[in-house]
Structure 1
Amino acid sequence: MRSITSNISTTIHRSTASRWLRTRKSRFAETIGGTLRRRKMRWVVEIRQPLILISEVQRSGGTLLSQLFDGHPECFSHPGEIYWGRPEKWHWPNLDIQGMSTKAMFNSLHEPWVD
């Protein structure tokens, strides 16, 4: 009977510890995420230039092209991939390119590392 009781208490203890650790990790991530967001916002620069979207299929040189633009001193390139589609990146929305401003288009992007 003693081994059953100790196994049950060990299981309860492990689940409580696991729950505590998950809660602690999520609180830590929220705190760190907020701090990083505030630090990044200090370096935001307003850009009043036209937005150019260059789209590419896999393995066609898009990464090289983005790195070339990133290295150019007169270009502001977007870091990493951008996703227009929601809930998945291949679900493209209907965009009225003629009627939307550059700012409205840029605000419609989904950036999980910023949100």
Structure 2
Amino acid sequence: MIKKKYIRITVVFCMIVFLFIGLTGCGKSNNLVGSWVSEGDDLVKFENNGSCSAPFTYNAAWIESADSYTIKDDGTLVFSSTGGHANSSYKLVDSEEEALKDRHTYYISGDTLIIRREKYEKVD
């Protein structure tokens, strides 16, 4: 009788451990954080605190670029500026080909970022 009780406790304990490990592996990570350089030597930088330097968001009429970004639950990348005049968003797509066709999308995988049909490589 006591042996069965310990087996049940062990099984329940193992199930809880596996559940905990599985749930901690599902957390979101921000793969954008870091500096990215294009073939044309354009530099884009994403900080962990949500700030960024993204020259391609430059709004010449207001002489400003986006200085912050967020990633929505659906993966959409949204840029904004303190002045409120350099705002844009990009839908996350599943392949490089899709991102290279549509300038309103982005793709990220490992050290490759494609946004506005421009390919960037991670440098740090």
TM-score past 0.5 threshold: no
**What TM-score, normalized to structure 1?**
0.35
Determine which structure has more spread, i.e. the larger CA radius of gyration. Answer: 1
Larger % of strand: which? Answer: 2
